[in-house]
Amino acid sequence: MSEASERAVDDDLKLAGFYVGGGLYGIDIMRIKEVIQAAPYRIREVPQAPAIVEGVIQLRGVVIPVVDLRRRFGVAVDPELARLNKLIIVSVSGRIAGLKVDRVLGELRVSASSLRPAPSMLRGGPEYEEDIFSGVTRVGDEMVFVINLDGLLRGARR
């Protein structure tokens, strides 16, 4: 492999692409432990949990908080889609969490140089100290919002 093609491979970002509402989002694929169907798991509500935490599930003996990305992004819940929801189980700062999404697209490879900073209006908000989007890129004709998991889940820990 030539030095230029090795650099191009090193420049690639591997993202897991998924949909929430009509938006396409991506997270670093290396942060994912697994993807499961949400329907078989009963999400139990937790009193006084942050608004974006729908509740918890038990997965192979481990209690995992579930963050509903529809709630976090202000997208109306669609009961018709609920049976199709997926949970993306991620590892963040040594903790495990589940991200509830509408549909998982799969692996997206994008050039790191194609990643643009997220517009300031899309970052965090007054209740969150961290940016929840690390950038924006395109895959084909779709815009992909790349999520900063640490920033996103910091709001779930309050």
- Between 68 and 124, name the one with better pLDDT: 68
Residue 23 structure tokens: 């938006």
> How do strand 133-139 and strand 142-147 relate by DSSP bridges?
antiparallel
Q: Which of 63-67, 101-105, 115-119, 129-133 has the lowest average pLDDT?
A: 129-133
Range(s) of the domain holding residue 82:
3-157
Count, in order, helices (H) and strands (E) of the chain.
4, 10
Residue 56 structure tokens: 């918890």
CATH number at residue 83: 2.40.50.180
Q: Catalogue the long-range contacts made by 121-126 (C-beta closer than 8 Å, 24 or more residues apart).
A: 124/151
Residue 92 structure tokens: 């963040």
Residue 148: pLDDT band with limits 50, 70, 90 = very high
66, 70, 69: which is closest to 53 by C-alpha?
66
Q: How many domains does the chain have?
A: 1
* % of the chain residues with pLDDT over 90: 58
Q: What is the mean pLDDT of residues 118-135?
A: 65
- Between 132 and 158, name the one with better pLDDT: 132
Give pLDDT tens digits for 49-101.
Answer: 988 899 999 999 999 999 999 988 888 877 777 778 999 999 998 899 999 99
Residue 13 structure tokens: 């970002």
Contact in structure between 81 and 69 (CB atoms under 8 Å) = no
Classify residue 128 by its DSSP letter. B
C-alpha torsion sign, points 143, 12, 35, 63: negative
